Structure 1
Amino acid sequence: MNQQNPSWDEVRAWRKGERERLIEARVATVQEIRARWTRAIIETLEPILRESRGPISFYWPFRGEPDLRPLMRLLAGEGFTLALPVVIEPKTPLVFRPWRPDSKLELGVWNIPVPVTKEEVEPSLLLAPVVGFTPDNYRLGYGGGYFDRTLAKLGAGHEAIGVGFEMARLASIYPQPHDIKMRQVVTEKGVVGAKRRPGLMAS
């Protein structure tokens, strides 16, 4: 691939290969290690999310992603309004349905559980799981474009935080006009680009 000025076809093929490589490496990581990394991610995320004034969209863990359900249960128990993203149709923005620990769930796209209710909420903050990420807060996702379309539709006043493991770090994703930066990215090392706080668990 011409790394100076790659075509979209070249970038698309490169991203497909990187997705496969990164997901395979993540899934192959020992579960106990992923759990330790996830605890460190939650330690960083919790105070950030407590500052949110509006609904927060989490995600249901998929293919070795950080499992934030303990944090979801904690915040829901304190009265925070939480939601989960739902794919209604391909190539359309996500919708968000409220979630609580006692919410009934059904299998959605890719067999990921989603709330059964048809009620919708509009989150002010979205947590976006990353397949890959860059130091300047671009996100490599699964290739469906759902988060980019959603952020473009929601517009100003709505932000996303990428969540993933440090092993997913990339130098670049060769960003395209449709790619939207995350506000920040959080890994087990802390907020990407920020000084690590004392006490954060390392890998």
Structure 2
Amino acid sequence: MTDSDKPTRNPITQKAEVRRQAAAARQAAFEAPDRGARVAAACHAVTEAVRAAGLTQAVLSGYMPMRSEVDPLPAMAAHRGPVCVPVVQGKGQPLAFRRWTHDAAMVAGAFGATVPAAGDWLRPRVLIVPLLAFDAQGYRLGYGGGFYDRTLGGLRADGAVLAIGLAFAAQARAEVPVEATDQPLDAIATEDGLRWFT
């Protein structure tokens, strides 16, 4: 059988399979008794990445954690510049970003994430990106809506942006299925430290 005779696997089907496995691995890491220490170490790695890039005063986007996502709030609170969080505008659209502070009034947003009830709309220079899995090439696997890929594509077309994935080390995979529209991360922060891809 030649390579052209071999059946090809649909990346969308592959992603669904990997998502199930990755969600289970992330949940197990989330439930570990030392989760607090590992989250603190991963957030410290984010702060170090921002410092190393010279972006301590830049607009940073975090996110409001859902389910078993690594909580970025320590890194958001430690940031010296403006902080915002993503707001889903609608299916097929890029994310918008609203200013966040620790005392901001929050309301329910799309997909169960909370978002600021009011505040300025900002353009982030640094994004902390949630994920289900990541690989050694810097690609991430999200939930399938394409919001971060669409957003990163637009932000990168308009200028430089630093995308840092935030995850537990257990979410690493040798390879995640990739489609042409998938945007790679610039770095990944876990409890094991920081890894740059670019």
Question: TM-score range, shorter-chain basis?
Answer: 0.7 to 0.9
Counterpart Cα distance in 1 of 2:86 and 2:147: 10
The answer to whether structure 1 residue 148 and structure 2 residue 152 are counterparts is: no
Counterpart Cα distance in 2 of 1:90 and 1:34: 33
The structure-2 alpha-carbon separation of the partners of 1:6 and 1:141, relative to structure 1 and needing over 3 Å to count, comes to farther
Amino acid at match of 1:66: V
The structure-2 alpha-carbon separation of the partners of 1:32 and 1:6, relative to structure 1 and needing over 3 Å to count, comes to farther
The structure-2 alpha-carbon separation of the partners of 1:31 and 1:117, relative to structure 1 and needing over 3 Å to count, comes to farther
Amino acid at match of 2:58: G
- Per the alignment, residue 68 of structure 1 pairs with 72
Counterpart Cα distance in 2 of 1:88 and 1:128: 17
Counterpart Cα distance in 2 of 1:176 and 1:25: 23
- Equivalent positions of 1:176-195 (< 5 A) are 176-192=179-195
- Per the alignment, residue 12 of structure 2 pairs with 12
The structure-2 alpha-carbon separation of the partners of 1:189 and 1:103, relative to structure 1 and needing over 3 Å to count, comes to same
- Per the alignment, residue 94 of structure 2 pairs with 93
**Displacement of 1:25:** 2.7
More off after superposition, 19-28 vs 133-142: 19-28
The structure-2 alpha-carbon separation of the partners of 1:47 and 1:28, relative to structure 1 and needing over 3 Å to count, comes to closer
Give the ranges of 4+ consecutive aligned residues of structure 1 lying more than 4 Å apart after TM superposition: 3-7
- Per the alignment, residue 55 of structure 1 pairs with 59
For normalisation by structure 1, the TM-score amounts to 0.84
CA RMSD of aligned residues (A): 2.2
Partner of 2:26, secondary structure, is helix
Counterpart Cα distance in 2 of 1:25 and 1:154: 30
Percent identity, aligned pairs only? 29
**Displacement of 1:164:** 0.5
**Alignment gaps of 5+ in structure 2:** none
**Residues 100 and 119 of structure 2 are in contact (CA less than 8 Å); yes or no, is this contact kept in structure 1?**
no
Counterpart Cα distance in 2 of 1:193 and 1:135: 10
More off after superposition, 28-37 vs 89-98: 28-37
What is the number of residues matched between the two proteins? 188
Counterpart Cα distance in 1 of 2:87 and 2:97: 6
**Alignment gaps of 5+ in structure 1:** 195-203
